[in-house]
């Protein structure tokens, strides 16, 4: 199986893919038109990317059947376009959670103790203990987590070790009371009912929302109106989930202290000039979108990428796939008990074709001894009784037919 890697990737991952029998093409600088050309020329079945954008032109260029994001999220990939073309999209959730959580805690500490300003003045030859000895400290300060996936959970564990009470808002807890109760007991947190309530009660607000259509600009002026004067704000999630103009206004109006690893507009290159009016404000600190960039996290992601591709190569199944339909248009299931002989299911499918019925899902389970099987075929409609009768009578190896209405 040909695997094109169009981003930086750990040597252990390259070695693992080759050991699994993959033909690995490593072009870490390929992007845009060069990636389109690479996909066209190599006819790779699998594409691995990290921050490289995957566009519709790339999907049409070659022979892709699987795209793996070597990281969490899939916001850089045209998932809808991949779905239309029957291309699997997978990622590596949770493998960089500890790394991002560690940076979030580092930013919380840096904001509270103004560590970057301390360092800057020391390097400028200035000593100012009087100014920098003023800090609140973290113990007893309420941490509000906006979102509670893998990273939020890791942050909660570390914050509790600092003696910080942890409040959480997550949409899934509003929809699942049992999940809420389990999380409160397992992580020692308190779940609140609304995002506004969380923001109003937090001394430190840390954002851990995945980027979706619903969460884009989720942290907006309306939500930030509830934040406490002098509170700290941390974002190590996605720049797009925060309205940064509204955040800049809140910094000026309420004296917020801010730590950011992601920004509204980031350079596409690894090194570039960067200007942002928000970062220029006092008590606003930033890092260079490095949350997942530890050796430990990258090794874990490489290993998970190898597992995904090896599983796909060996079984045809894709771990962590994100673009399969949860619900299909299927309305009926046709259960076919039959002898395990060639042509039986082809006979059934021919009758379904004539009846203009589309197969949504199918499985064929073989009994011990491989003499008989049961096929379950989900359809977007119901065959007529006459069609069912003709289907069964037309092949002596069909032992029984049963039509089940779904839903």
Residues 233/227, Cβ–Cβ less than 8 Å: yes
CA torsion, points 267, 272, 277, 283, in degrees to nearest 10?
Answer: 100
Retrieve residue 162's tokens.
């600092």
Residues 261/291, Cβ–Cβ less than 8 Å: yes
Q: Residue 67's beta-bridge partner residues?
A: 47, 89
With b for 16 or more beta-carbon neighbours within 10 A and e for fewer, the 21-39 pattern comes to: ebebbbeeebbeeebbebb
d(CA 78, CA 59): 9
Which active-site residues does the annotation give?
Answer: 238, 266, 289
Q: Residue 168's beta-bridge partner residues?
A: 145, 191
Sheet of 23-26: strand order equals 23-26, 2-5, 46-49, 66-69, 88-90
Residues 205/146, Cβ–Cβ less than 8 Å: yes
Residues in the chain: 407
- Our CA angle for 325, 328, 330, nearest 5°, is 160
Backbone angles phi, psi at 265, to 5 degrees: -135, 110
d(CA 52, CA 31): 6
Query: Which three-class secondary structure state does DSSP give residue 163?
Result: coil
Which strand (E) or helix (H) includes residue 269?
none
Retrieve residue 92's tokens.
């590596």
């Amino acid at each position: 199986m040909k695997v094109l890697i169009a981003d930086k990737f750990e040597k252990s991952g390259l070695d693992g893919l080759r050991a699994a029998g993959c033909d690995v093409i490593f072009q870490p600088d390929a992007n845009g038109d060069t990636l389109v050309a690479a996909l066209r020329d190599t006819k790779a079945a699998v594409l691995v990317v990290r921050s490289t954008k995957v566009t519709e032109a790339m999907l049409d260029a070659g022979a892709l059947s699987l795209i793996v994001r070597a990281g969490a999220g899939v916001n850089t990939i045209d998932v809808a376009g991949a779905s239309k073309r029957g291309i699997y999209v997978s990622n590596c959730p949770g493998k960089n959670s500890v790394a991002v959580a560690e940076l979030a805690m580092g930013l919380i500490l840096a904001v509270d103790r103004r560590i970057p300003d301390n360092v800057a003045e020391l390097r400028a030859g200035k000593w100012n203990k009087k100014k920098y000895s003023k800090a609140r400290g973290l113990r007893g300060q309420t941490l509000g987590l906006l979102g509670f996936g893998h990273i939020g959970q890791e942050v909660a564990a570390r914050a509790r070790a600092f003696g910080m009470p942890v409040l959480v808002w997550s949409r899934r807890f509003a929809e699942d009371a049992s999940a809420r109760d389990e999380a409160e007991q397992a992580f020692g947190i308190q779940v609140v009912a609304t995002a506004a309530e969380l923001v109003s009660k937090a001394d430190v607000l840390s954002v851990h929302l995945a980027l979706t259509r619903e969460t884009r600009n989720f942290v907006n002026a309306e939500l930030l109106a509830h934040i406490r004067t002098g509170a700290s704000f941390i974002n190590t999630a996605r720049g797009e989930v925060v309205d940064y103009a509204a955040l800049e206004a809140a910094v000026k109006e309420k004296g917020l202290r801010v730590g950011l690893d992601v920004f509204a507009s980031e350079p596409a290159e690894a090194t570039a000039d960067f200007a942002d009016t928000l970062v220029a404000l006092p008590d606003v600190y930033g890092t260079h979108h490095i949350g997942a960039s530890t050796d430990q996290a990258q090794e874990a992601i490489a290993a998970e990428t190898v597992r995904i591709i090896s599983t796909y190569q060996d079984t045809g199944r894709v771990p962590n796939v994100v673009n399969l339909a949860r619900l299909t248009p299927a309305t009926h299931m046709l259960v076919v008990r039959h002898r395990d002989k060639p042509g039986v299911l082809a006979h059934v499918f021919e009758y379904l074709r004539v009846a203009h019925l589309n197969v949504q899902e199918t499985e064929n389970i073989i009994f011990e001894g491989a003499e008989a099987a049961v096929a379950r075929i989900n359809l977007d409609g119901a065959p007529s009784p006459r069609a069912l009768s003709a289907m069964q009578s037309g092949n002596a190896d069909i032992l029984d037919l049963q039509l089940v209405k779904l839903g």
